[in-house]
Structure 1
Amino acid sequence: MHHDNGIWVNTEDLMREESFLQSAEKEFSIENIDQTDGKWETNRRDFLKLLGFGLGAATIAASCEIPVKKAIPYVTKPDEIVPGVANYFASSFVNGGDYCAVLVKTREGRPIKIEGNTLSSVTKGGTSARAQASVLSLYDTRRIQYPGTVKDGNVSKMEWNALDREVKAKLAAGGNIRLITNTIISPTAKKALAEFTAKYPNARVVTYDPVSSAALLAANEQSFGARVIPNYKFGEAEVIVSFGADFLGTWISPVEYAREYAKNRKVRNVKGAKMSRHYQIESHMSLTGSNADNRILIKPSEMGAAIVALYNELTGGSGGPKLSNEKSAAAIKKMAQDLASHKGKSLVVSGSNNIMEQLYVNKINQLLENLNTTIDFNAVSYQRQGDERDMARLIGEMNAGQVAVAIVWGANPAWELPFANQFKEAFAKVGTRISFNGIVDETTALCTHSAPAHHFLESWGDAEPKAGHLSLIQPTISPLFNTRQAEHSLLEWADSPNLNRQDEQPYYQYLKSHWAGDIFGRQTKYSTPTAFWDMSLHDGVFEMPAPEAAAVMNDVALNPDAVTKPSGSELEISFYETANIGGGQYAHNPWLQEMPDPVHRTVWGNYLSIPVEWDGVNNINGWKGLTDGDNVEVEVNGQKLTCTVVRTFGQPAGTVAIALGGGRETGGCGVGYGVNVNPALKADGGLVQYFGADVKVSDKV
């Protein structure tokens, strides 16, 4: 609230609006039910607190059983569950490239809380809202509860052996097989995939990510000969420059990067105190930008010009597109001087999905002598592996009738892709379409068969987010429904001799055998496979030093004409990922929908950020006279959207921004909240670009 000391929290508080004052007075009031004439209305938050997310039904289904006999608690291994006494299991939260080593707190055999695992040198005890909220998705009563055929978005029940016979017959009939996935960081899952593709040589895996980093991967392959994400050492950099990479919120590995970033942002000794400097060049107010020492504001189409401007300042060059904003150009010139005086102690990153822009960034880091100091290729990251250009090629194959069976594993291309409508039309031409997804999402609704996988809290598995950094996933509860791990299904359909179908937990044995064989042979700490497995399962993580190799940059030609050129448009728009619902893959978790956006403090949907005009005293006006909650019509890239606006400090003039992930069409609680902006995204060279030029925004409608 507004106080006499001049502190205010929003525009309504500053301007002392009557509606705000009334709501502020009621914020902490307690209304007695007996004073409401028997009429009591609840809000979303009350509903979540009182009814949970099908928790009662899930509790009955779980029957309060000990999760799995072979799971090992983190602290002690009890002979039986003691009512009221919590057990902790070390596990891993993995969803595509999202990763976090976690400790799962359970009571009476049910997981109730997730925290970070301090034994992991990747996340170092940190966690994320997505990881913590994943407990709720376990108890989602919308989960598919059994295998079956899919028709009109409904699953008709089958037994697993009947589904297996039907799928095997389809696979054996010949024709190309395509497996559609997001990034997979599990070495054992990749082994299962290898067995499947060996059984069916006409099978191929097609991988994309909901929010693409394909340009970064392609540029690193050209520059360094490795299609991976390097090891960024934010904790060792004294000057950090980010071109639109929200590394504290959503970019690649934010839990890891935030921990590292904080190292040099703390003053440990007042005498001779110092901290790192952080420059953020961006087109909307991001979580990372809100923590920067210097924000340099540009239009989205000027990102390439800004990167080239920095390169020219460091090399004395003059080619390439120019920034129209003289203030931003001057700030980049000053930033270049700061970087040049911190060679070997700086770090430059970019969230651009333009290959040439990423090549320029690689060259800038080489010029600043950052390779093998703040950037190395020892513990590289595997957390982004996808390329949406492969999906475009797959659509061509399906349209040509060249795909007989398509298997979808954890991905949702019928909604996530900008060309989702093209995918839907082509997907319908595939005779057999199988989904491992746990809910009837937009893609599963188009499939012919559903083979639902366990929730990760019911699963065995592993992960290798970075080279040499391994972690295990162990179940903390018995499966609530008649689901089965996707890896188990692939091995079953491949008639794998390594899957012991007579065992109580076949995939557990497969995982353990892989660790006792391939992974045990990569380490020297333990002398026996049993000791290696037991301690790794107990700790949740096992780390081995990655072989050191000095990064050597290839001689790659830089072409300033290949970077994004300023559009010259009066108005442009940015599309960005949020820390809570991501690109939409977490939109059906009500905890994450209810979590206020850390920048805009908005919930349940995505909103159009508009710039504000401030006279420096008390008058704050939204662009075009708009205020929070007004609806406008937005036209971009041939798409028309009706959006609700929110005034945003730090939004550059001549720009607007809106988050990805809104407007889900089926599958859960996110349906109907926000707008789906994916069709408004365009591609350049096959790579999705997260901005639009020549945007039109109406007055209030």
Structure 2
Amino acid sequence: MKNNKQHIWIGTDQLNNSQELSQMEQSEFAELPANGNSVDLKLESNRRDFLKYLGFGIGAATIAACDIPVRKAVPYVVKPDTIVPGVATYYASSFVQGGDYCPILVKTREGRPIKIEGNSLSSITKGGTSARAQAMVLSLYDTSRFDGPRAIVDGVPDKKATSWADLDAAINKKLKPGARVRIVSNTILSPTTKQAVADFKATYPNTELVSYDPVSASALLQANEESFGQRAIPEYMFDKADVIVAIDCDFLGTWLSPIEFARQYASRRKPNGQTKMSRHIQIESYMSLTGSNADNRIPLKPSQIGAAIVALYGEVAQQTGAGGGRLAGPKLSADQQRKINTIAKELVAARGKSLVVCGSNNKSEQILVNGINAMLNNYGRTLSFARPLMTRQGDDKAALQL
């Protein structure tokens, strides 16, 4: 076997430079016994021996084709008390990325995170996780991520990283007490970060914090502020609703707090005879995880979602005698309108125990959904502002004014 590394040996014979081993390596062909003028060959083997020789030959050829890599196991000089080689260590932490939040347990080996699990002690998620939380561990090993602060040159991050000291010096040259400063970030949930922003504003009074969420719920916040005077997202209680109507809203997959909603939703989807199974109707323009679990799924075009909300609002208003009757707006086909009328009857029959949610980022459509829930007396029963959801605080209007 060829090996370019002279300090690596395989077997004691090679280590001691055995003469017999040297002769065997030099003898490529073994001499066969001769009997007179003919060679006396007695080759007797069975199928099992043939397979043995074949396997050994392939293995030897494979090993001879490459060098064995050298892997050094370096022991600890002073081993940390919290690390036992081969034994995993778990840490309780939180996954916060934009508006996504999840209490988690991080499995580590020798200080390296390798797996994410939900924290069963959480009263919100109760041990659940999302696909984004599970995939977060991959970002720790991403070789393409920034290894330090970088300056923006002509709208593009500089390829060369700068130091924090140089970055602070460059920013301090431009900061003045009267300067207009805008801090752009996604939704901030950390009280420590909020206090740091408040301290910065105290030093530079003309500073404004602009929150922008890539997956925005700004229309829902604006609609609630106009309808109830509170710019917040209500607490949705899917486990208390007998009839759920979701309009272009994937609340089991991506909408607002899918881990919490999935746990509540699942608790009412088990027909065990003790709890009434909830009825789920999904109106959507694409196949979603939530739509695939619905009892009744009504597919519409994206351009028809607004018309479906207007039609549902008008039908609920007519059947409840509230809300001012039908509204003018785009029309649906006769078959689609008939389905909306049936949905409205089910909602009115479950008045006070129904829930209508919408994933649209259109303020007018969200105001109509608020009106539907109000006519059905759902506020205080299946949704409430007593404990609002603060994971989405972005303001699209403020971002456009930058």
TM-score by length of 1: 0.44
The structural deviation recorded for 1:153 is 3.8
Q: Residue 265 of structure 1 corresponds to which residue in structure 2?
A: 269
SS of the aligned residue for 2:385 comes to strand
Partner residue of 2:337 out of 329, 332, 336: 329
Flag the 1:174–1:215 CA change in 2: closer, same or farther, 3 A: same
Q: Residue 348 of structure 2 corresponds to which residue in structure 1?
A: 340
Asked if residue 256 in structure 1 is aligned to residue 264 in structure 2, the reply is no
The structural deviation recorded for 1:237 is 0.6
Supply the distance in 1 between the matched residues of 2:151 and 2:337 (Cα, whole angstroms).
Answer: 59
Supply the distance in 2 between the matched residues of 1:320 and 1:295 (Cα, whole angstroms).
Answer: 25
Supply the distance in 2 between the matched residues of 1:303 and 1:112 (Cα, whole angstroms).
Answer: 42
Q: Residue 131 of structure 1 corresponds to which residue in structure 2?
A: 133
Letter in 2 for 1:387: D
Q: Residue 250 of structure 2 corresponds to which residue in structure 1?
A: 246
SS of the aligned residue for 1:268 comes to coil
Contact 1:65–1:109 at 8 Å: present in 2 too? no
Superposed CA deviations along residues 636-670 of structure 1, whole A, max 9, x for unmatched, are: xxxxxxxxxxxxxxxxxxxxxxxxxxxxxxxxxxx
Letter in 1 for 2:186: N
Contact 1:266–1:275 at 8 Å: present in 2 too? yes
Superposed CA deviations along residues 557-606 of structure 1, whole A, max 9, x for unmatched, are: xxxxxxxxxxxxxxxxxxxxxxxxxxxxxxxxxxxxxxxxxxxxxxxxxx
Partner residue of 2:186 out of 182, 186, 192: 182
Q: Residue 211 of structure 1 corresponds to which residue in structure 2?
A: 215
Contact 2:351–2:378 at 8 Å: present in 1 too? yes
Supply the distance in 1 between the matched residues of 2:150 and 2:229 (Cα, whole angstroms).
Answer: 44
Partner residue of 1:168 out of 163, 172, 189: 172
Q: Residue 361 of structure 2 corresponds to which residue in structure 1?
A: 353
Contact 1:304–1:357 at 8 Å: present in 2 too? yes
SS of the aligned residue for 2:401 comes to helix
Contact 2:285–2:301 at 8 Å: present in 1 too? yes
The structural deviation recorded for 1:338 is 0.8
Letter in 2 for 1:91: S
SS of the aligned residue for 2:371 comes to helix
Q: Residue 112 of structure 1 corresponds to which residue in structure 2?
A: 114
Q: Residue 464 of structure 1 corresponds to which residue in structure 2?
A: none
Contact 2:268–2:275 at 8 Å: present in 1 too? no
The structural deviation recorded for 1:144 is 1.9
1:353-502 map, 5 Å: 353-394=361-402
> Which protein shows a greater Rg?
2
Supply the distance in 2 between the matched residues of 1:347 and 1:195 (Cα, whole angstroms).
Answer: 41
Flag the 1:333–1:83 CA change in 2: closer, same or farther, 3 A: same
Supply the distance in 1 between the matched residues of 2:78 and 2:214 (Cα, whole angstroms).
Answer: 36
SS of the aligned residue for 1:156 comes to coil
Superposed CA deviations along residues 406-447 of structure 1, whole A, max 9, x for unmatched, are: xxxxxxxxxxxxxxxxxxxxxxxxxxxxxxxxxxxxxxxxxx
TM-score by length of 2: 0.75
Q: Residue 310 of structure 1 corresponds to which residue in structure 2?
A: 312
Supply the distance in 1 between the matched residues of 2:163 and 2:292 (Cα, whole angstroms).
Answer: 52
Contact 2:177–2:203 at 8 Å: present in 1 too? no
SS of the aligned residue for 2:261 comes to helix
Flag the 1:306–1:148 CA change in 2: closer, same or farther, 3 A: closer
Superposed CA deviations along residues 150-195 of structure 1, whole A, max 9, x for unmatched, are: 5564343444333322322221385311111111111221111111
Percent of matched pairs sharing the same residue? 55
Contact 2:313–2:326 at 8 Å: present in 1 too? no
Supply the distance in 2 between the matched residues of 1:336 and 1:196 (Cα, whole angstroms).
Answer: 51
- For structure 2, list consecutive stretches of 5 or more residues without a partner in the other structure: 1-57, 63-73, 319-324
Superposed CA deviations along residues 47-103 of structure 1, whole A, max 9, x for unmatched, are: xxxxxxxxxxxxx9xx9999xxxxxxxxxxx93311111111111000010111101
Q: Residue 283 of structure 1 corresponds to which residue in structure 2?
A: 285
Letter in 2 for 1:366: A
Contact 2:249–2:357 at 8 Å: present in 1 too? yes
Q: Which runs of 4+ in 1 moved over 6 A?
A: 63-66
CA RMSD, Structure 1 to Structure 2 (Å): 2.6
The structural deviation recorded for 1:264 is 0.4
Supply the distance in 1 between the matched residues of 2:149 and 2:371 (Cα, whole angstroms).
Answer: 51
Structure whose residues are more often helix by fraction: 2
The structural deviation recorded for 1:218 is 0.5
Superposed CA deviations along residues 97-129 of structure 1, whole A, max 9, x for unmatched, are: 011110111111111111001111211110011
The structural deviation recorded for 1:149 is 4.1
Contact 1:229–1:381 at 8 Å: present in 2 too? yes
SS of the aligned residue for 1:348 comes to strand
Supply the distance in 2 between the matched residues of 1:385 and 1:157 (Cα, whole angstroms).
Answer: 31
Superposed CA deviations along residues 226-264 of structure 1, whole A, max 9, x for unmatched, are: 111100001111100011111011111111111111110
Letter in 2 for 1:154: D
- For structure 1, list consecutive stretches of 5 or more residues without a partner in the other structure: 1-33, 39-59, 67-77, 395-701
Q: Residue 198 of structure 1 corresponds to which residue in structure 2?
A: 202
* Count of aligned pairs: 325
The structural deviation recorded for 1:148 is 5.0
Contact 1:64–1:108 at 8 Å: present in 2 too? no
SS of the aligned residue for 1:180 comes to strand
Q: Residue 65 of structure 2 corresponds to which residue in structure 1?
A: none
